[in-house]
Homo-oligomer: A and B are copies of this chain.
Amino acid sequence: MTDTNCHKIRIQDKTVQLPGQRVLFEDPMPLDSGLSFGPIEIAYQTYGTLNADKTNAVLICHALTGDQFVSETHPITEKPGWWSLMVGPGKAIDTEKYFVICSSVIGGCMGSTGPVSVNPETGNPYGLNFPVITIGDMVRAQKRLIDHMGIKKLFCVIGGSMGGMQVLQWAVSYPEMVFAAIPIATAPRHTAQNIAFHEVGRQAIMADPDWCHGAYLEKNKVPRAGLSVARMTAHVTYLSEPALHRKFGRRLQDRSNLTYGFDADFQVESYLRHQGYTFVERFDANSYLYITRAMDYFDLAAEHKGRLANAFKDSPVRFCVVSFTSDWLFPTKANRDIVHALNAVAADVSFVEVESDAGHDAFLLDEPEFHETIDGFVKGCAERWFNGHGKGAIS
C-alpha cells in the first residue's frame, strides 16, 4: 500500500495535476465477473477532520460523471464542486462536524484505476483490456479505502443517481459498516429504458472512427464527436420537460428569426452542443462505456433470488430514500420500490418525494426542501449515533 499526495492524470490529450490523495492497493481484488484484478489505485478527497474515535465519517458516492471534487473548485473545469451546496461548513453535510470522504470510482478517469490507467504488465493504457466492473466492484474498492483509513463504521453513506446505487450496495454488502444510508434519485435496478439510453450513448462513442476500437490513447486520438453525442443524449434525460421549457422554451439563440438552416437556432440546441463539447474536455470515452455498463448491470434483487427485500433482511441501517417528482430517469416509482422492499423486512426507513420541476438533476441543485430533508435526517441520525446508541453498535 502506498499513500501519495501528488498525482497526475491523463485526460484526452492533456496531462493534468490533480489535488487530493490517492492510495495504491497492490493485492488483486475479486470482481463480480469472477476475475481478480489489481493493483488498484483509489484517488479520493476529504473535507473536515476525522475525530479520534473515527466515528464521524460520511462517505459520498458520486454519479456517472461525478468525481471526488465534491466541495472545491474542479481542477479541470474550474467550476465549483458538484455538491458545494450540500457539503461544507454549516451545510447539511457539515464539514465542521463530519469527516467527508469521496473517492473517484474505479473505471472512472479522475485518478482511480480505470481504462485510461497504464496496465503495469504492458506499459500501455488498459483501454478495452480493463475488466468490466459493477457497482458492487466500485463499492468493494471503496471499502478497501475505508478499511485503510481505520474506519470501522461510516456514520453515513450518501449519494444520488449512480451514487445512490452505491449507497444501496454499501448497505447490502456491508450493513454493519453503515449507520445511516441516503440513496437519492436512484433505483434498485436499471430499467430497460435506462439501459436503452445508455446503449445509445455507447453506440455513439463506438461509431466514432477516432474511438479506434478503444485504443484511441495509443493512437493519439480523441473520440470527441461520439462522446459529445453520448453526453447530449444523457443530458436530455437529466432534465425534465418543464425544466427545459423554463430554461429555454423555443427561444432563439442570438437572433430574432429562424435561419432556415442547421445552425443552433434554438437556445436549447446551443446549450446541448455546449454540454457535449465541454464534457469531452473532462471525461474519458472508455470510462463512459465502463461506468454506464456498471449501471446497466445493477440489479440488487437479482443477487437475492429475485426478491429485493431479501437484500435488506435484518438490516441495522437507517435509510432515508429521496426522490423528485419530475425525475423521469429514476422516477419516484423506482425509489418507492426500494422503500417497499425495506418496509417488507421492517427496516428503519423514511421516504421523501421532493416536489421539484428540475428533473433528475434536482439532487445537484438548490432545492430547499431537499436540502432541509437531508439536513433533518442527518441531524436526527447524529443525535442517535453520537449519544451512544449507534456508537455502541460499532464494537
Contacts and interface: CB of A to CB of B under 8 A. Distances in A.
A262 B202 contact: yes
A203 B191 contact: no
B249 A228 contact: no
Interface of A: 33, 35, 128, 131-132, 189-193, 195-197, 199-200, 202-204, 206-209, 225-226, 228-229, 232-233, 236, 239, 241, 244-245, 247-250, 258, 260-262, 264-266, 268-269, 272-273, 276, 289, 293, 296-297, 299, 302, 328, 331
A189 B293 contact: no
Contacts of A296: 265-266
A204 B204 contact: yes
Interface of A is mostly: helix
Q: Oligomeric state, in number of copies?
A: 2
B269 A233 contact: no
Contacts of A128: 262
Contacts of A239: 193
Contacts of A272: 196, 199-200, 203
Contacts of A131: 260
A208 B211 CA distance: 12
Contacts of A132: 260-262
30 contacts: A33-B258, A33-B260, A35-B260, A191-B245, A191-B250, A192-B244, A192-B248, A192-B250, A193-B236, A193-B239, A195-B266, A196-B272, A199-B264, A199-B266, A199-B269, A199-B272, A200-B232, A200-B233, A200-B272, A203-B229, A207-B207, A207-B208, A207-B225, A207-B226, A229-B229, A233-B233, A250-B299, A250-B302, A265-B296, A266-B296
A247 B33 contact: no
A75 B280 CA distance: 42
